[in-house]
């Protein structure tokens, strides 16, 4: 059985700690969304909208595959309503910025990664509440689902538009500052997750972690792993090149756990949330560890083939350039006029340096 995650509500009722965590979550989310906006270039966004492959992949990956996966896992492991809501919330979240960082490490398509993250974040305004409403029907007769604050979820999602819009404006006006903010946001993401996990795991006590059933830990391990596999399969169906497949894989499995944490913390009361608050943090831990293994495997086994492909392309370019250079040398020989004795004129061939 999934067991109840509602226990521990009193522990989460510590007002000073609860308010501190809420402030940390809110600030971390704002910095992350600001960095996401700074990574978006209007020209690239326009190109993607004219050929919306990234938009379509974000739609299918984040709001078809992942919510369905979360729903099925909740049924398979027979979770109770509180745990199921936590899993569904995480599964219905848009893509997270961790995927952008990981895409760099596996030589992925950064433009595709950023467009997918931004697109899924904007689509979440409408599709995340819809997915939650659809998939929570199985637990509709429970109190936590009847109190599921879809309006507050929409409000939290809407509040992310301001830092995203500000980031886009900074990118348009001050590109160098935007590059710096992107780096700051990525480090902020990692630091915030580590701090949240330490605070929740230590200050709230190991008893809270012990209250989380083994089935929830199992889902936290399996869900991102299955998401990576689903994303890679989806990109394969679209016949995308290998570097794009790696990108779509990471984009699908990496969820915006900061947004999930913010929704759980800001829209549910401590009495209802209980240790349910821990699930997105567990998901963040395992999605990062599994993505790290993905990167490590690529560095050990996949990087050589990538370098060979790149080197082959460069060699072809060099050969073509050399041939073109030789042809230009042969066709562009000029002469200099020299005057010798007896007033004779002689042409002395020289070659101009290219």
Asked if residue 340 belongs to a domain, the reply is: no
Instruction: Write down the pLDDT at residue 49.
Output: 66
CATH number, residue 71: 1.20.1530.20
User: pLDDT (tens digit, 9 = 90+) per residue, 213-258?
Assistant: 889 999 999 999 999 999 999 999 989 999 999 999 999 999 988 7
What is the number of structural domains in the chain?
A: 1
DSSP state of 268: S
Spatial CA neighbour of 95 closest among 128, 129, 49: 128
Asked if residue 335 belongs to a domain, the reply is: no
**Mean pLDDT to the nearest integer, 63-70:** 95
User: pLDDT (tens digit, 9 = 90+) per residue, 260-310?
Assistant: 887 887 777 766 766 677 788 889 888 888 988 998 888 888 765 555 555
Helices and strands in the chain: count of H runs, count of E runs: 19, 2
**Mean pLDDT to the nearest integer, 3-8:** 44
- pLDDT of residue 259 exceeding 50: yes
- pLDDT of residue 339 exceeding 60: no
User: pLDDT (tens digit, 9 = 90+) per residue, 148-194?
Assistant: 767 767 777 777 778 888 888 888 888 888 888 888 877 777 777 77
The token duo for 223 is 């869900």
The token duo for 178 is 């935007």
Instruction: Write down the pLDDT at residue 236.
Output: 94
Can you tell me the distance from the alpha carbon of 302 to that of 296, in angstroms, rounded to the nearest whole number? 9
Asked if residue 67 belongs to a domain, the reply is: yes
Cβ-in-10-Å burial (0-12, 13-18, 19+) of 251 comes to buried
Q: Which domain holds residue 166?
A: 26-311
Cα R_g (the chain), whole angstroms: 27
Spatial CA neighbour of 117 closest among 95, 101, 98: 95
Q: Where are the beta strands (DSSP E) in the chain?
A: 333-339, 345-351
Asked if residue 117 belongs to a domain, the reply is: yes
Identify whether the C-beta of residue 36 lies closer than 8 Å to the C-beta of residue 97: yes
Identify whether the C-beta of residue 156 lies closer than 8 Å to the C-beta of residue 29: no
Asked if residue 16 belongs to a domain, the reply is: no
Spatial CA neighbour of 128 closest among 103, 102, 158, 107: 158
Asked if residue 329 belongs to a domain, the reply is: no
Cα distances from 148 to residues 25, 82, 84, in angstroms, run 20, 10, 12
User: pLDDT (tens digit, 9 = 90+) per residue, 297-335?
Assistant: 888 887 655 555 554 444 444 444 344 445 444 444 444
Asked if residue 6 belongs to a domain, the reply is: no
Contacts of 317 (CB under 8 A, 6+ apart): none
Asked if residue 334 belongs to a domain, the reply is: no
User: In whole angstroms, what separates CA 185 from the centre of its chain?
Assistant: 12
Q: Where are the beta strands (DSSP E) in 150-244?
A: none
Spatial CA neighbour of 57 closest among 242, 237, 295: 237
Strands 345-351 and 333-339: antiparallel
pLDDT band (50, 70, 90) for residue 16: low
């Amino acid at each position: 059985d999934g067991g109840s995650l509602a226990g521990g509500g009193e522990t989460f009722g510590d007002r000073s700690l609860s308010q501190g965590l809420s402030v940390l979550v809110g600030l971390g989310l704002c910095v992350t969304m600001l960095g996401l906006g700074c990574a978006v270039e209007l020209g690239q966004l326009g190109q993607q909208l004219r050929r919306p492959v990234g938009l379509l992949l974000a739609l299918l990956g984040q709001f078809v595959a992942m919510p369905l996966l979360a729903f099925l896992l909740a049924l398979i492991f027979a979770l109770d309503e509180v745990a199921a809501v936590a899993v569904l919330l995480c599964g219905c979240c848009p893509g997270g910025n961790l995927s952008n960082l990981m895409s760099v490490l596996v030589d992925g398509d950064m433009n595709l990664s950023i467009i997918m993250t931004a697109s899924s974040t904007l689509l979440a305004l409408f599709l995340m509440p819809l997915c939650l409403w659809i998939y929570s029907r199985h637990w509709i007769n429970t109190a936590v689902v009847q109190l599921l604050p879809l309006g507050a979820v929409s409000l939290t999602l809407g509040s992310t538009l301001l830092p995203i819009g500000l980031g886009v404006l900074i990118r348009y006006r001050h590109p160098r500052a935007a590059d710096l903010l992107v780096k700051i946001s990525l480090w902020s993401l990692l630091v915030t997750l580590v701090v949240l996990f330490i605070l929740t795991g230590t200050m709230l006590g190991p008893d809270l972690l012990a209250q989380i059933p083994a089935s929830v830990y199992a889902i936290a391990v399996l869900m991102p792993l299955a998401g990576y596999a689903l994303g890679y399969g989806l990109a394969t169906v679209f016949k995308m090149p290998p570097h794009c497949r790696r990108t779509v894989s990471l984009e699908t499995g990496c969820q915006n756990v900061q947004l999930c944490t913010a929704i759980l913390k800001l829209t549910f009361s401590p009495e209802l949330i209980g240790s349910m608050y821990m699930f997105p943090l567990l998901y963040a831990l395992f999605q990062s560890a599994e993505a790290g293994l993905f990167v490590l495997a690529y560095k050990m086994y996949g990087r050589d083939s990538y370098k060979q492909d790149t080197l082959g392309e460069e060699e072809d370019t060099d050969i073509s350039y050399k041939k073109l250079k030789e042809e230009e040398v042969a066709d562009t020989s000029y002469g200099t006029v020299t005057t010798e004795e007896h007033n004779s004129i002689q042409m002395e061939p020289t070659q101009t340096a290219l």
